Structure 1
């Protein structure tokens, strides 16, 4: 390491930071909270109002343009860390990457999130593919969430630039019960098609015909009416709607099986939180999920298949000892690889390698840089 341990590094974090936002917002919050004091962070939020429809889209565009116009008046930092996803998020991030790289001439970390970034990379549009290439070339480091996502990116990005940094949670905030009397299940995610809400409802409805069910379903969304109907018609199904972070942690601590039959993901922080709460995971083998869930701590099914999901849950619920072993394996795994203590050490190493004092004194050629490890 070329930067002395007591040297300060100022990092400007750019991303959708706002109250009540999703996993990227929680990651940004963790960055600011858990990085050591010598890594001084500032956040420039590029959040826009959620929702659909022409009026919402027009408002989002206007707010995004205002954010871009105001951005150049900020003080340049040592390193800029930009969180991005596919489509509109990437177009928005592109402006910041290019401004920082070409005008400020600061090192840029482009952190790729997003459940469908692989599809975005394969879009059949020359202008979009060209923009992707320019943005990746301008970035010093491109962060992937898992080894599988790194392989996806490396087909479009110089592999020497691609670095895997895991998503993280504060494991100390969770106190799992590991109780299987009864086996309690949970689902805490937005009620939308992509998250598999419809398949969850169908699978639980099937199981409720055969065995006693104990499941808590939280959050809300366009498909919440399906969950409400399920809770009204089946005993043992509790629908609690939107919950606070504290209430969410309590739900995950008390449950033993977390269900997320999602269609597309990066590496969901929701699953990491469930693992920290001591849950066996029943999910799908999409995106980076297989990097955190395997036969030791869960079961993976095909997305969109309610019958297979019901079969997996039926088999698991019949074996409480297996559930308990999986739950403990989940907790150990998240402690070892996805705690903020571990991830912040990787972030500090990355920032130190990019900070001006490190770059000016580095003796190693580019291919020996942090990004090539």
Structure 2
């Protein structure tokens, strides 16, 4: 087994910016430490601007990102010089600025004759690649061909790299594992009980295309039109994205969210947290009956929050999109169309009337998680590549 790895990616340091990719990177770092494998980290999460994580715009060029990446290149060079013969694990990007950083890092690593295992999260590489000029496509192909192996989250994502030489052997599909340690022996299926409160949970960054507004509208229907005893927790930062249509900024989206609560008298029914971590997040999943992520986000891959929902027996209501169907099926959850809040409210209402069907799905979710998505399986699958 490998004794040391150079790890290039984003940690969850200080919880400044937490997403599925950073959680998976931190999981790997922590697990390697437990296995006495030394790691030397080049952390994408650090910035010259201490408040940058609150001001970032997903998918858009920003000068702060450029300066941060230049400093990271010097850090990478120093690490390669100081750790001879150490292989490199790197989280790659699906944006132009991110690729330029990857281009330099991968070429530097191969100049020093290192084994390079890249890990691409998300499932938007086809759109990224096809939107580039012919000359830039050549750079992408030549750079990724230099890697020894490329990890993706599932078979859907693997097909996006068909332009690489021998991609069927070079690109390896490894599903995510759950970062948090959960004692599965203490997790039992959930039940919907008569007259008792039904809890919904949305846990992801509040980006328009993640579908949080659809969840909010579904809560309004359930409470004010169907008279159901429903509450909801929203946890995540309001972030701006280049694909936004409804809101001009993150602050605009946030203002609209709270105005909607007041207008529809939902202040006592909806709770908002900028983030939930550790025991607070575990408590939220334990309490919730349904997890909702009706996403059509352009960079969506295999959301870790869906795995968390399955692990706790929290029934997911999600879109049949990208890599989400690798985790959710008709036995352990429900699929809805994007921008369809009425479908969400109908499913919740139906399960309230048919609690036995709900419990079957909760039980199936726990079983499916334990069979496919534990942290131990994830880490071992990666380590065997070195």
What TM-score results when the alignment is normalised by the length of structure 1?
Answer: 0.85
2:11 is the counterpart of 1:17: yes
Equivalent in the alignment of 2:384: 349
User: SS of the counterpart of 1:184?
Assistant: strand
Which residue, out of 166, 172, 175, partners 2:182? 172
CA positional deviation for 1:89: 2.4
Q: Which residues of 2 match residues 304-319 of structure 1 at below 5 A?
A: 304-319=339-354
Aligned partners of 2:219 and 2:231 also within 8 Å:
no
Equivalent in the alignment of 1:225: 255
Moved segments of 4+, more than 4 Å = 173-177
Equivalent in the alignment of 1:162: 171
User: SS of the counterpart of 1:350?
Assistant: coil
RMSD: 2.3
Rate the CA distance shift 1:8–1:109 in 2: closer, same or farther, 3 A: closer
Equivalent in the alignment of 2:246: none
CA positional deviation for 1:98: 1.4
Rate the CA distance shift 1:230–1:162 in 2: closer, same or farther, 3 A: same
Q: Which residues of 2 match residues 78-97 of structure 1 at below 5 A?
A: 78-87=86-95, 88-97=97-106
Q: 2: CA distance between counterparts of 1:27 and 1:77?
A: 25
Which residue, out of 284, 288, 305, partners 1:255? 288
Single out whichever of 71-80 and 334-343 deviates more from structure 2. 71-80
CA positional deviation for 1:105: 0.9
Q: 2: CA distance between counterparts of 1:38 and 1:31?
A: 12
2:188 is the counterpart of 1:194: no
Q: Which residues of 2 match residues 1-373 of structure 1 at below 5 A?
A: 7-19=1-13, 20=15, 21-35=18-32, 37-47=35-45, 48=47, 49-50=52-53, 51-52=55-56, 57-74=62-79, 75-87=83-95, 88-101=97-110, 103-156=111-164, 158-169=167-178, 170-172=180-182, 176=187, 178-181=190-193, 182=196, 183-208=198-223, 209-210=225-226, 211-221=228-238, 222=250, 223-232=253-262, 233-234=265-266, 235-264=268-297, 265-351=300-386
Rate the CA distance shift 1:272–1:61 in 2: closer, same or farther, 3 A: same
CA positional deviation for 1:305: 2.4
Aligned partners of 1:84 and 1:114 also within 8 Å:
no
Aligned partners of 1:205 and 1:230 also within 8 Å:
no
Aligned partners of 1:98 and 1:135 also within 8 Å:
yes
CA positional deviation for 1:197: 1.4
Equivalent in the alignment of 1:357: none
Rate the CA distance shift 1:155–1:321 in 2: closer, same or farther, 3 A: farther
Q: 2: CA distance between counterparts of 1:173 and 1:240?
A: 25
User: SS of the counterpart of 2:182?
Assistant: helix
Equivalent in the alignment of 1:361: none
Aligned partners of 2:106 and 2:147 also within 8 Å:
yes
Rate the CA distance shift 1:154–1:317 in 2: closer, same or farther, 3 A: farther
CA positional deviation for 1:141: 0.4
CA positional deviation for 1:77: 4.7
Q: 2: CA distance between counterparts of 1:38 and 1:318?
A: 51
User: SS of the counterpart of 2:88?
Assistant: strand
Q: 1: CA distance between counterparts of 2:64 and 2:102?
A: 18
What TM-score results when the alignment is normalised by the length of structure 2?
Answer: 0.82
Contiguous gaps of at least 5 residues in structure 2: 239-249
